[in-house]
Structure 1
Amino acid sequence: MVFKAAAVQMCSGVDPARNAVSMARLVREAAAQGATYVQTPEMTGMLQRDRAAAKAVLRGEADDIIVRTASELAAELGIHMHVGSTAIALDDGKMANRGFLFGPDGKVLNRYDKIHMFDVDLDNGESWRESAAYRPGSEARVVSLPFVEMGFTICYDVRFPALFRAQAVAGAEVMTVPAAFTRQTGEAHWEILLRARAIENGVFVIAAAQAGVHEDGRETFGHSMIIDPWGRVLTSAGGTGEAVILAEIDLAAVKAAHDKIPNLKNGREFSIEKIPGAVKGGVAA
């Protein structure tokens, strides 16, 4: 099976309606180039550091402009439309960092709430506490589409290889990693992590990213990528501004990678024991 996939790179601002217009323009561009699956980045609908300001404009899923626009685009263009994620208001006062996959009829085929929260302290005083505003998900998802078995993750999830391995063992042939990586972490780890997840599981990785300096002052790394099961970067975008990248996904490459290095079948259960080191004067050395 072969299909054409697109990753849409954005520089989302603080206004969901304006971001919806940008999303629609870029998705139409991707579809015009033959893409039948189109992925947008994490937080397609809004990047807003001010949590009070964010909550003031966010809506529940039924009233969200990104959800509505993506559904309409999928039906209009006859594509599988994947909103990498957007912030959705929840009843408990928190938000969900939620991805959506729409079928060619515009109906929701899958929802995925980001599992791993980005709670980190970086160099130069950069600090993030995603868990303070967002409720983490608890369910991994592999969706059977007519043309592929697809696994779902979001951004920081890429640092947790067990999530990818579980989905690969469940049959995922393509893993999706929409993201809004910071420039600092992206420069250090973005490509390495994506290629590692592709190689160790023998799957394609499609990663649409946010890119550039945003209205709220943050800077994201960009470099959206599509990577094959051997870890080769098939196509990538730059580090700033909007872009649409496309690649043919030939699922025969997944089987070929698994045949060459069948680590999914060769994995074994094991126990682990921590052995204390040499003891000097009653204290472990």
Structure 2
Amino acid sequence: MKKLADSASLKSIKQKAQQYAMAIGVGLIERDNNNNLYNTWVVCMPDGSLQKHRKLHAFEHPVICSGDQYTVFDTPWGIKMGILICWDNNLVENARATALLGADILLAPHQTGGTHSRSPHSMKPIPMALWENRQQDPQALQAAFQGEHGKGWLMRWLPARAHDNGMFIIFSNGVGRDEEEVRTGNAMVIDPYGRIVKESCAIEDDIVVTDIDLTLLPESTGRRWLTGRRPELYQILTTRQGNEQDPISVRFGNKD
């Protein structure tokens, strides 16, 4: 939990980004100058610079603060990237705001799938026995990862974030045991039409590599829809309704 400038591991990743002329993203717990802690995702750029996003809706622990700004930045490849962390992506306003700020690609690091949701028809835990027995029966675990509490859950909403906003989405996710739950992987790249370009079906650590067609962006459905907006109608989106709650209460319920 160091300040970014003091992180030895981040310095090492910066060197790799420069060495291979890549953008490399990594998640960490950031401590700011006032000793506030954030769930932060940092992108190390080829020129040695850093771009960071603090999760906007942090519920991991009461001491983790929520960020207060969107993150969209230029890249050496002539496109803009944005970042939203995990639950940031579930709230549709965040994806729309990131698109309006010019993002062509949304980096969407997650730790999801197999999560106990309070909503009765949302995702539920993957049996831990499937994970522990993965060497003997990998097919059963893969079926669960691809099922309604893994990829099936993602397909209800993730492609819509790409399609409706005319962006590529690069979705990464944990895989395997995460305390008392099992994360379901399913890393994927989604195009601006909501189609999966490339995905992982692995039940262990994996990397998805693919080319993306940037010519899909200008005439994508979502981009056209953005130009049809009537902002004068949308004041309701920034008007408090009186039932807003902090992220922990929304995610886990009030425990008073």
TM-score (norm 2): 0.71
Measure how far apart 1:192 and its partner are: 2.6
- Which residue in the other structure is 1:242 paired with? 205
1:205 is aligned to 169
Question: Gapped runs of 5+ residues in structure 2?
Answer: 116-122, 124-148, 237-256
Q: Which of 61, 71, 86 is matched with 2:4 structurally?
A: 61
1:81 to 15, 24, 38: 24
Letter in 2 for 1:153: L
Match of 2:69 in 1: 139
CA RMSD for the aligned pairs? 2.3
Shift of 1:236: 1.0
224-233 or 248-257, which deviates more:
248-257
Q: Which residue in the other structure is 2:42 paired with? A: 100
Identity %: 25
Distance 2:99 2:109 in 1: 18
**Does the CA-based 8 Å contact 2:109-2:171 persist in structure 1?**
yes
CA deviation after TM superposition for structure 1 residue 69, in Å: 2.2
Alignment of 1:4-15 (within 5 A): none
- Listed one character per residue, the Cα deviations across residues 209-268 of structure 1 (whole Å, up to 9, x for unaligned) are 111114x4442121111000111101111253210101212211011314x861101111
Partner of 1:117: 58
**How far apart are 1:159 and its partner, in Å?**
0.8
Aligned equivalents of 1:218, 1:239: Cα separation in 2: 17
Residue 263 (1) aligns with residue 225 (2): yes
Change (3 A) 1:207 1:66: farther
Cα 1:172–1:261 shift into 2, 3 Å: closer
Residue 13 of structure 1 corresponds to none
Indicate the structure whose relative CO is greater, using CA pairs within 8 Å and at least 6 residues apart: 1
Map of 1:191 onto structure 2: 155
**2:217–2:223 contact (8 Å) kept in structure 1:** no
Task: Count how many residue pairs are aligned between Structure 1 and Structure 2.
Answer: 201
Structure 1 distance, partners of 2:24, 2:183, is: 23
Kindly report which structure 2 residues correspond to 1:266-277, keeping only aligned pairs within 5 A, or say none: 266-268=228-230, 269-270=232-233
| Aligned residue in 1 for 2:87 | 156
Query: C-alpha offsets along residues 152-186 of structure 1, whole Å, 9 cap, x if unaligned?
Result: 11111111111111121222111110111141345
Is contact 2:199-2:208 (8 Å) kept?
yes
Maintained 8 Å contact 1:116/1:136: yes
TM-score by length of 1: 0.64
- Superimposed CA distance per residue, residues 21-61 of structure 1 (whole angstroms, 9 cap, x where no aligned partner): xxxxxxxxxxxxxxxxxxxxxxxxxxxxxxxxxxxxx3332
Deviation of 1:75 after TM superposition, in Å, equals 1.6
CA contact (8 A) 1:181 1:190 kept: no
Residue aligned with 1:100, SS: strand
Q: Runs of 5+ in structure 1 lacking a partner?
A: 1-57, 119-129, 273-285
